[in-house]
Amino acid sequence: MRRDDDAVEVDEPLAVDAPAAPHDASGEQVTIRDLAGLAPPARPARRWTPRRVVAVPAAFDHPHGRRIVDRVEGLGFEVERLRANRVTGVRGDTDRETYARAKSTLAIVVSPASRRALRPIAPSADWRVDLAEGCPAHCQYCYLAGSLSGPPVTRVYADLDDILAGLADYVGRGTVTSRSAVRAGEGTTFEASCYTDPLAVEYLTGSWLRTVEHFGQWDAPVQLRWTTKYADVGSFVGVPHRGRTRVRFSVNAEAVSGRLEGGTAPVADRLEALRRLALDGYPVGLTVAPIMPVPDWRGEYGALLDRVRAAVVGVDGLDLTVELITHRFTPGSKEVLLGWYPRTRLEMDEESRRRKFGRFGAVKYVYPPALTAELRTWFERELAQTVPAARVLYWT
Ligand code: SF4
């Protein structure tokens, strides 16, 4: 993977790197100042606008695929009909060009068979269900790095109706939250944001709203879960969700979100969106991730918790959970991220980390035990004091 740096627009000393010619949620050119969050964003979050929308032939065999095409064309996009069931025309002359092209492409495809066989996703949910793969944002620590095969195109699935119909087979068979003494009451849980950010693409697909309504009508002990760094929740307010969907907002200290989460909505907007959904009766949550011991991390995260407290003031019947996830990386994700963001200042120093081995011997690098314990103790104490209504689901 190429790791040289092209010239980028710089109007302040760089804290971070960004992809060449990146686009924000509006599709407009974004400067490094925007991506680095060198000044607090003074504008409302804007939507991602793909530069290219393609659809494979098989997508038209599915009602939801046709719905997405109609919707996207109704929004004024031209949908390029591909001749074969593979997404082509994404590769550029350089890795960086390929990255930029992929990140600005929306592909309407059919989910691979491997995605339709659900797998547990600990510690979040019993099952992981994918409605899309890929994300248009530019987080420099992106969890998808090393998990996607090929360029990071955002692929949305046309076979949503089949995916939803297949969920019934998994009810009552969960082994993660269903076996947890404190979480079994949630019913069988389905996590629908592992490989994408739902609200980044919802206005183009309508997939998550259909899924929320599916769970609302489903007469079974089930819960839909997803997490987002966007704030465009208007279409979810007032629908018959019946409290079966927990929407979590991924939030972080300004030193992290402002510098490393290009193309996403400002944290203030995410918290406003959380409030709107909570007032509409949704169970809501915070995914505080990835937690990093940035300079003055207590002050930084303390300010975040103060904003959370303000966001939930006066919400009757508030059901608020918190998931706390520290930063980690693998050799594979580090290599991909350095290819995407060659000049990033995201700390990925193996020497300062502890090696942790997964079930199949895969290594990941986490913070050393003493630092992890310090962070954890602080978060649990401060959360209890600042947002006492919040229930911590897990720390990892
Ligand atoms: Fe990756 Fe999530 Fe950021 Fe999208 S929002 S770029 S999936 S970390």
* pLDDT for the residue numbered 45: 54
pLDDT in tens, 219-271: 999 999 999 999 999 999 999 999 999 999 999 999 999 999 999 999 999 99
Asked if the model's pLDDT at residue 363 lies above 90, the reply is: yes
Say whether the peptide bond before residue 57 is cis (omega within 30 degrees of 0). no
Query: What residues pair up with 141 in beta bridges, in sequence order?
Result: none
Flag the least confident range among 92-96, 101-105, 277-281.
92-96
* Contact residues for 1 (Cβ-Cβ < 8 A; gap 6+): 95, 335, 336, 338, 339
CA of 259 to the centre of ligand 1 (A): 14
CA-nearest residue for atom 8, ligand 1, is 142
* pLDDT for the residue numbered 9: 23
CATH of the domain at 292: 3.80.30.30
Percent of the chain with pLDDT over 70: 89
Which residues surround ligand 1 with Cβ inside 6 Å? 135, 137, 139, 142-144, 197, 229, 264
Asked if the model's pLDDT at residue 191 lies above 90, the reply is: yes
Fill in the amino acid letter for 129.
V
Dihedral, CA of residue 264, residue 268, residue 273 and residue 278, to nearest 10: 140
Mean pLDDT, residues 159-166 taken together:
98
* pLDDT for the residue numbered 14: 24
* C-alpha dist (Å) from residue 297 to 68, 291, 380: 43, 9, 14
Q: What's the domain count of the chain?
A: 1
* C-alpha dist (Å) from residue 25 to 49, 84, 105: 6, 29, 13
* pLDDT for the residue numbered 314: 96
Asked if the model's pLDDT at residue 344 lies above 70, the reply is: yes
Mutate to test the pocket of ligand 1, among 48, 142, 259, 344 (most ligand atoms within 8 A of CB): 142
CA of 345 to the centre of ligand 1 (A): 17
* pLDDT for the residue numbered 146: 87
Domain of 44 in residue numbering reads as 4-395
Percent of the chain with pLDDT over 90: 84
Say whether the peptide bond before residue 290 is cis (omega within 30 degrees of 0). yes
- How far apart CA 240 and CA 217 sit, in angstroms, is 8
- Ligand 1 atom, smallest distance to 135 CA: 4
Flag the least confident range among 36-45, 110-119, 162-171, 294-303.
36-45
What letter would DSSP give residue 265? Answer: P
- How far apart CA 245 and CA 224 sit, in angstroms, is 5
Q: How confident is the model at residue 98 (pLDDT cuts 50, 70, 90)?
A: very high
Asked if the model's pLDDT at residue 65 lies above 50, the reply is: yes
Mutate to test the pocket of ligand 1, among 139, 202, 228 (most ligand atoms within 8 A of CB): 139
Q: How confident is the model at residue 370 (pLDDT cuts 50, 70, 90)?
A: very high
CA of 14 to the centre of ligand 1 (A): 21
- Ligand 1 atom, smallest distance to 137 CA: 6
Q: How confident is the model at residue 95 (pLDDT cuts 50, 70, 90)?
A: confident
* pLDDT for the residue numbered 278: 98
CA of 317 to the centre of ligand 1 (A): 30
pLDDT in tens, 301-336: 999 999 999 999 999 999 999 999 999 999 999 999
Mean pLDDT, residues 329-356 taken together:
95
Greatest CA separation for the chain: 58
Say whether the peptide bond before residue 123 is cis (omega within 30 degrees of 0). yes
